[in-house]
Amino acid sequence: MINIRQEVPLLLYNTFGVPATASVFVESDDATELADFVRSLPDPSSAFLLGGGSNVLFVSNRCEMVIHPVIKGIEVTAETDDDVWVRAGAGEAWDDFVSWCVTRNYAGVENLSYIPGTVGASPIQNIGAYGTEAKETIETVEAVEKTTGQTVIFNNQQCQFDYRDSFFKKNKGKYLITAVQFKLSKRFEPNVKYADLKTELVRNTHMTMENIRQAVISIRSQKLPDPAELGNAGSFFKNPTINTAKSREICELDPQAPLYPVSHEYWKMSAAWLIQHCGWKGTQDGNVGAHKRQPIVIVNYGGATGKEVLDFAQKIIDSVDRKFGIRLEPEINVV
């Protein structure tokens, strides 16, 4: 069903908790009706797709039209002795989907527990945590092309997944994702290469999917602020990729600096380490600040506008660039 409302405040529709208003707010729980509605629009490209609002920052105070898919449903579409294919509606809460899979012993997404947002957002951002990325399990993505209203199905390769990136992110606003199909395994192989996860799991004698899920939830709860208590969108910045020469410079400053090899010539660097070593951890500037436990998380202490958040982020970017010659890139979607 299509539900259309006028002049809808978006404060409760974004985890940053910044004010904005949708002139027209369209909510839909049916992919076919959503496609028909998009086809009826004189300028569908102007409509903004809003999922769970956990990776968005409203800088403008007004959006002309917001489309909010609430398409639900999780079902097994095929299975073999080793694998199972699961299709989930874009409006399903991501962590509810992970819980559904873990409960049924379908392996592959347990390390992605407790990530906010919806299933529909997972391929856009190629969400990742603790050595796992969504691209490893996504089989197909069903979407509505906004300019034509036609339904398109993308396979994994066509999604062009990269670190916190995808075809959908590169072609921002061109597609409305309605469902995602995942290929999961019936044969559980734990992925515990991250030190934090190993430490959290040391008390468990049996390595199960549920143990890993609970360990991830525990770690994330300790490190990241709850958006219900302190407005934020999780990690604000991507971890930058640097070359070997720059990595050597970093190691001269701190031999224990968190660097992870990407290839023979490139390394992934912790954005949190860079931000902390520029003195931003726990700082506050007006209504905005860098979180006291995790400086890569920018928080709204109450009453902040999107512009205040973005201005604070820019100060961090400039500071890191001046000190280390590394330019941080925002991970979130600025509207």
Please indicate whether residue 60 is annotated as part of the active site.
no
DSSP assignment of 206-237 equals S--HHHHHHHHHHHHHHHS--TTTSEEEEE-B
List, in sequence order, every residue forming a beta bridge with 232; answer none if it has no partner: 299
Are the CB atoms for 335 and 56 separated by under 8 Å?
Answer: yes
CB 49 within 8 A of CB 143: no
Active-site residue, selected from the candidate residues 28, 113, 235, 247: 235
Q: What is the CB neighbour count within 10 angstroms for residue 270?
A: 17
> Contact, 110 vs 216, CB < 8 A?
yes
Nearest-angstrom CA–CA distance, 197 and 215: 7
> How many CB atoms sit inside 10 A of residue 101's CB?
25
Closest CA to 184 of 292, 260, 110: 110
Catalytic position from the list 164, 213, 220, 247: 164
Alpha carbon distance 59, 192 (integer Å): 38
CA separation for the pair 15, 57 (Å, rounded): 9
Tell which residue, 23, 28, 29, has the closest CA to residue 8: 23
- Examine the residue annotation and report whether 235 is marked as an active-site residue of this protein: yes
Examine the residue annotation and report whether 164 is marked as an active-site residue of this protein.
Answer: yes
Q: List the catalytic residues.
A: 164, 235, 331
